Structure 1
Amino acid sequence: MSDTIEIQPISKPVVASIDVPGSKSYTNRALLIAALAEGQSELSGILFSDDTERMLDSLRKLGTYLEIDRLNHLVRVNGNSGRIPVSEANLDIGNSGTASRSLVCYTALGNGTYRFDGASPMRKSRPIADLLDALQQLGVLITSEQNNQRFPLVVSANGLDGGPVKLDASKSSQFLTALLMVAPVTKKGLQIELTDKLISQPYIDITLSIMNQFGVEVTNNDYCHFSVDGGQSYSSQSYEIEPDASSASYFFALAAITRGQVTVKHLDINSAQGDVQFVRVLEEMGCSVRCLSDGIQVTGGDSFKGINIDMNSISDTSLTLAAIAPFAKSQTTIRNIKHIRWQETDRLTAMVTELRKLGVTVVEFDDGLQIQPVDQIQPAEIETYNDHRVAMAFSLVGVRQAGVKIKDPRCVDKTFPTYFEILRQLGA
């Protein structure tokens, strides 16, 4: 694929039935928990993307035996019963928030020295300080090579006893996920008290669901205090990864803006993935939604109206909504998503900047944005900031307007390597 791709407008309603890849969130959590388990687990429906390859590579370097069948999206994991078999490793976590934060906690269980480094956003902007503070409360020695509580980091591990810990998860729920997953194999378990409001609660529901599937119960007191008994073992499982609801959002949005009908197969409206509720956002904007026996179907309506919405719990799809909002008949306001400023890029500023290139009137707030409808989108070359969600979201604009080019389209390899291929098959 070239350094820039021009999206071809689609002049007719898109009618399609689509398989999207497995969930990144489920894949990386299941891989780590399977590595902590006792015995061999078989994980099917695995997503193979840059983020999950970072997890696979790191687990292998940390002594976990993996059998990988890429053709059938299958990985067999020989668990190490909560132990880290190697005492030294150099791990490159790229720009994977889930892998980096989870693996820092995972290596704290070992006995040895484990060095982490990553891509530029991990070194400069993506937060981890609050997780490091929690681990240091638990007696883990962690050194930031730049002395700034960012990567590169060195974990000097001597086992993890556990105990009470205070955690600020207001910037990323992944901090809590990372601690929860290792909690049962510590000696004393963990009693985690949150010191600020938890964001992205559905991602914690995913974590709790997978832990439960592998045999571990978590006491959850109103998402403010979590307790996990220590001295446990995860049980190996045959576990199927469900489709990625965040990835599905782009195709549901495609139905909305082309007045088409798109079915995403094997996706369940009752999934723990918060982003599956994006279809309810589209429904409120004028689309119709059907929950089928084996998928979800969205049909675009004759009227597509704006919305005023709090997207804190489904913030990955806020970019999808922002990209299609100019095609609505009225103003759209997206609120309570300040935390997306600390993701792959400052996603709020990125969306505002690129929408303005397209001639859209946008107001940026500290925690959201307001988008006015527009009669005619201007052609533009979209900067993606090495952010897969920016690239996929703005591709939707190109479906409606000629002359929209996406720079660095390969950034979608992070979660959805075949995205532009599927979009092209649909006519874009």
Structure 2
Amino acid sequence: MRRIIVKTIEIISSKSIAHRALICNYLSGGEYKVIYNEKSQDIDATEKCLKALTLNKKELYCGESGSTFRFLLPLLAALGREGEFYTEGRLPSRPLSPLYEELLSHGCTLSPQGEVPFKIKGQLEGGEYNLKGNVSSQYVSGLLMALPLLKKSSTLNIKGPLESEGYVNLTIKVLENYGIEIKREKFGFYIEGNQRFIAPGDYFVEGDWSNAAFWLVAGAMLEEGIYCKGLNLNSLQGDRKIIEILKDFGVEIKLMTDGVVIKRKSLEATTIDASQIPDLIPAVALLASRAKGTTVIKNAARLRLKESDRLKSISNVLGILGVEVEELKDGLEIAGSKKPLKGGEVNSHGDHRIAMMAAIASIESAEKVKILNSKAVEKSYPSFFEKLKELDLDKNVERG
């Protein structure tokens, strides 16, 4: 009997946790290190901005990192620092309301939305803050990291269900690790003022479930499967939900002490609610194209405001590869098939997750898949194509 050897990959450290830990470490005095196994463009942006603040510079270069911009904006206000944010790509045009209005009404002067550089000055004041739950969770996280620094205590009220709540839970956990207490209330959070950030020592960043999703989906396409190492099975990362989603599709899953083994199995279509896991949708959409029946992805309107209009980008790329996709106002309907995908030339639309989706799709392609603007992966996963080659899964990929 032929022995099948499982492919193994060490997962990149969590970008979401690294952003938060770097900021908290800076606020604690920067005596200790934040340790991760790979630096993406986004993490590099946060590191350089924090170094600029240490050197009392006001010019902050965020690149296309939404987390860097949206986390540091209220932080500068809380510190009473003047700043100029330089942003690139779609980031200047991505929504900043209602965080924008909350900062204006609590002591800050801001540039018009969309302006580059985006300037801020003034001293943020404690008090009552109000955000809708269906806006970017980065606004919530940014305020939760900034408000403990103010003299006056604050409340942060959330109107309606909080989408991407896992990312907010992650923020609260990292803040707790650095000695900050956030009290949950019925309609939001209470943040005591005059708190002090205290580092627990060097901070080791766990594996990234968002990026691991692409390898997990790859494993579901391979007879030998893939072992994704370096994942915390008890993580607060919301994208850990990929395990439940894979189970819904019928994927064979084996949980290990430090990761997950995924193997190919007959897949069945399912329904996916994207409201809490928007970053998983490119990987999930690809898996849906391999499942029997029609998969429905709903509550995904916020994907239109990512690095690209992700609903349109997913529909475009999968369509070129021969998948029957219907783009809905707030989601997708994807008709699965066991037939090999077509090859062809696709565009990442400058979106790192679309580039990774297309690359993993090539595993199931009868011909080569050429990915234009494949360098987009450097935003979150610079070594992605190297890992693809190490796993011997790059035979049908051509980078453009």
**So what's the TM-score if we normalise by structure 2?**
0.92
Counterpart in 2 of 1:336? 299
Instruction: Specify the code of the residue in structure 2 equivalent to 1:142.
Output: L
Give the aligned CA root-mean-square deviation in angstroms. 1.8
Tell me the CA shift for residue 112 of structure 1: 4.4
Q: How does 1:17-416 map to 2 (within 5 A)?
A: 17-38=8-29, 40-45=31-36, 47-63=38-54, 86=56, 88-124=57-93, 126-144=94-112, 148-149=113-114, 151-157=116-122, 159-222=123-186, 224-238=187-201, 239-301=203-265, 303-374=266-337, 375-401=339-365, 402-416=367-381
Contact 1:290 1:298 in 2 (8 A): yes
Give me the identity figure in percent: 28
Tell me the CA shift for residue 150 of structure 1: 5.1
The count of residues paired between Structure 1 and Structure 2 equals 388
Task: Summarize deviations over 1:347-401 as a string: whole Å, max 9, x none.
Answer: 0111112222122211111211000123342222111111100000111111111
Instruction: Specify the code of the residue in structure 1 equivalent to 2:269.
Output: G
List structure 1 segments (4+ residues) > 6 angstroms apart after TM superposition.
Answer: none
Instruction: Specify the code of the residue in structure 2 equivalent to 1:153.
Output: F
Tell me the CA shift for residue 42 of structure 1: 2.3
Contact 2:11 2:231 in 1 (8 A): no
SS of the residue corresponding to residue 74 of structure 2 reads helix
Task: Summarize deviations over 1:208-230 as a string: whole Å, max 9, x none.
Answer: 110111111111125x3111100
Counterpart in 2 of 1:83? none
Hey, what's the Cα distance between the residues in 1 that align with 2:172 and 2:194?
18
Contact 1:93 1:119 in 2 (8 A): yes
SS of the residue corresponding to residue 41 of structure 1 reads coil
Unaligned runs of 5+ in 1: 1-11, 65-85
Unaligned runs of 5+ in 2: 395-400
Contact 2:106 2:126 in 1 (8 A): yes
Hey, what's the Cα distance between the residues in 1 that align with 2:252 and 2:341?
26
- Is the alpha carbon distance of 1:397 and 1:299 closer, same or farther for their aligned partners in structure 2, counting shifts above 3 Å? same
Contact 1:20 1:264 in 2 (8 A): yes
SS of the residue corresponding to residue 282 of structure 2 reads helix
Contact 1:13 1:255 in 2 (8 A): no
- Is the alpha carbon distance of 1:94 and 1:246 closer, same or farther for their aligned partners in structure 2, counting shifts above 3 Å? same
Hey, what's the Cα distance between the residues in 2 that align with 1:13 and 1:317?
29
Q: Which of structures 1 and 2 has the larger relative contact order (alpha carbons within 8 angstroms, sep 6+)?
A: 1
Hey, what's the Cα distance between the residues in 2 that align with 1:110 and 1:269?
36
**So what's the TM-score if we normalise by structure 1?**
0.87
Counterpart in 1 of 2:397? none
Tell me the CA shift for residue 129 of structure 1: 2.2
Task: Summarize deviations over 1:256-291 as a string: whole Å, max 9, x none.
Answer: 012332221121221001112202211221212222
Hey, what's the Cα distance between the residues in 1 that align with 2:79 and 2:235?
34
Contact 1:289 1:296 in 2 (8 A): yes
